[in-house]
């Protein structure tokens, strides 16, 4: 039986400062992250000792040196938040990694809370800039100068599941799932064939099927083997193939369907041969065909459209659901997946209230028709970018949301609460509550550990290798009777 779902996302945001001729992305990112002053002291370290980004899931260690910043740089670039998230500078982008969650609805909640955190930071950082300068953030995936930044998804799997089997089934799934989780994009990039509009922002940037790197020779399946949990028990799939989504419905479907397919892979429930002849070519062909009519070449000689392939995954999922007990959220995801696939097969534009690439396409085509513009007009490219603007009063997705033109999964009240509240059913609860209750005594944090520095005593590290321990049920009483970290450690024995 598949292990319980544990998932999360890491979203890199595009950043620019208007009216600043000396704009430097790295220093602007540092300003942005430090403008978010949840921890007044700001002295908590990110524990890089617990990381190993050079381990490859294919069973070897890649040559290279692990980057570890000095203490001053560490503090300047990293914030661990009381909701269990990590907010930090990754290369030349601000990145928000949401806390671990157990279901797709909570993932929507905490990814959207990340958008609110970014906007709070942006406003605070802009106030510190010279007069006339304005910091802007976009939750998108390319700068139109050949650079792409990621929306990374993380799902835990059973370590015993063959990585070869995971790759075999995930390649056709990833290549074709963009039909319901693409963010949409005007034009092409990275030497891609010319097109007016495509489904995915990331598709043009993939150059190989399987590899460890995330920026050079970017792979559809990333092989980083860094579970941030018990290594003997868990494998963390670090997925870099997806787009950054604005639509709550799209995020919900993307994460929920992916979690379901991974459970099916673990349980051996994928019984159709959907192996593609050329996945790298296919991922671009699917993206460049919003009509959804293009047929992909399979290794067995058959040809199928992306919608037909996703429908095949759906049919296997329905069989799997009939034989297994699914939780309420997964049942809802499955129902919505059926509805979406039915409309993608008949009239995709009816999904303009749910799916990002369709919503954006409808918005832009309406604008083009009113203004008599074509796809090459700079105003059209600007509209594409503005869909992803994180400012609630300027971003076009938020405009659709205010007008009630998009279907939502969560309420504003729930999202605002998630900015300051960790999930209750994962170890993120213990991490977030320790940061809230004992900020002056926390020395360092990682996903699977938290360290305390108390007086002159040696730093004490608590390991958290089990993502489903440290929950509210497990530790609320312990925390409530521990008025300090010193008492917490004593009470833990």
CA distance 254 to 310: 12
Architecture of domain 7-38+81-417: 2-Layer Sandwich (3.30)
Coil vs helix vs strand at 473: helix
Question: What is d(CA 26, CA 48) in angstroms, rounded to the nearest whole number?
Answer: 20
- Select which of 39, 49, 56, 90 is catalytic: 90
Q: Based on the residue annotation, tell me whether 90 is a catalytic residue of this protein.
A: yes
Rounded to the nearest 10 degrees, what angle do helices 248-266 and 163-181 cross at? Answer: 160
Query: 3-class secondary structure for 31-70?
Result: HHHHHCCCCCCCCCEECHHHCCCCEECCCEECCCCCCCCC
- Domain-by-domain residue ranges, the chain? 7-38+81-417, 424-492
pLDDT at residue 191 in the model: 86
Give pLDDT tens digits along the chain (493 positions). 899 999 999 999 999 999 999 999 999 999 999 999 887 666 899 999 878 887 778 877 777 767 788 999 999 999 999 999 999 999 899 999 999 999 999 999 999 999 999 999 999 999 999 999 999 999 999 998 888 998 999 999 999 999 999 999 999 999 999 999 999 999 999 888 999 999 999 999 999 999 988 777 899 999 999 999 999 999 999 999 999 999 999 999 999 999 999 999 999 999 999 999 999 999 999 999 999 999 999 999 999 999 999 999 999 999 999 999 999 999 999 999 999 999 999 999 999 999 999 999 999 999 999 999 999 999 999 999 999 999 999 999 999 999 999 999 999 999 999 999 999 999 999 999 999 999 999 999 999 999 999 988 999 999 999 999 999 999 999 999 999 999 999 999 8
User: Which pLDDT does position 40 carry in this prediction?
Assistant: 64
- What is the Cα–Cα distance from 243 to 183, expressed in whole angstroms? 6
The token duo for 215 is 């920026």
């Amino acid at each position: 039986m598949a292990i319980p779902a544990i998932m999360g996302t890491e979203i890199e945001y595009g950043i620019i400062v208007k009216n600043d001729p000396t704009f430097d992305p790295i220093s602007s990112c540092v300003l942005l992250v430090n403008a978010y002053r949840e921890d007044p002291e700001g002295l908590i370290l990110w524990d890089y000792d617990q990381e190993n980004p050079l381990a490859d899931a294919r069973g070897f260690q890649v040559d290279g040196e692990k980057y570890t910043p000095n203490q001053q740089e560490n503090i300047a670039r990293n914030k661990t938040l009381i909701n269990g998230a990590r907010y930090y500078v990754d290369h030349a982008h601000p990145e928000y990694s949401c806390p671990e969650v157990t279901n797709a609805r909570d993932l929507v909640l905490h990814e959207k809370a990340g958008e609110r955190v970014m906007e709070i930071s942006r406003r605070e950082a802009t106030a510190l800039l010279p007069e006339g300068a304005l910091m802007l953030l976009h939750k998108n995936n390319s700068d139109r100068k050949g650079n792409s930044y990621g929306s990374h998804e993380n799902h835990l799997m059973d370590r015993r599941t063959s990585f070869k089997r995971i790759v075999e089934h995930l390649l056709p799934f990833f290549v074709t799932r963009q039909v319901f989780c693409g963010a949409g994009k005007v034009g092409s990039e990275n030497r891609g064939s010319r097109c007016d509009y495509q489904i995915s922002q990331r598709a043009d940037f993939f150059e190989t099927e399987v590899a460890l790197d995330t920026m050079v020779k970017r792979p559809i399946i990333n092989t980083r083997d860094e579970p941030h949990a018990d290594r003997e028990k868990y494998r963390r799939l670090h997925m870099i193939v997806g787009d950054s989504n604005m639509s709550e419905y799209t995020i919900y479907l993307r994460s929920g369907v992916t979690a379901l397919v991974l459970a099916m892979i673990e349980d051996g429930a994928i019984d159709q041969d959907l192996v593609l002849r050329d996945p790298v070519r296919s991922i671009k062909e699917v993206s460049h065909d919003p009509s959804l009519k293009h047929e992909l070449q399979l290794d067995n000689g058959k040809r199928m459209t992306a919608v037909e392939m996703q429908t095949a995954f759906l049919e296997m999922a329905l069989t799997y659901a009939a034989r297994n007990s699914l939780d309420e959220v997964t049942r809802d995801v499955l129902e919505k997946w059926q509805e979406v696939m039915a409309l993608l097969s008949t009239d995709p534009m009816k999904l303009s209230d749910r799916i990002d690439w369709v919503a954006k396409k409808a918005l832009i085509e309406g604008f083009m028709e009113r203004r008599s513009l074509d796809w090459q007009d700079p105003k059209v490219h600007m509209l594409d970018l503005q869909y992803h603007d994180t400012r609630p009063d300027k971003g076009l997705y938020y405009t659709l949301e205010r007008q009630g033109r998009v279907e939502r999964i969560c309420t504003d009240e729930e999202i605002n609460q998630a900015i300051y509240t960790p999930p209750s059913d994962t170890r993120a609860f213990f991490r977030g509550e320790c940061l809230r209750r004992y900020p002056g005594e926390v020395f360092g944090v990682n996903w699977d550990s938290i360290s305390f520095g108390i007086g002159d005593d040696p730093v004490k590290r608590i390991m958290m290798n089990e993502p489903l321990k440290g929950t509210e049920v497990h530790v609320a009483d312990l925390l409530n009777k521990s008025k300090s970290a010193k008492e917490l450690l004593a009470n833990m024995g």
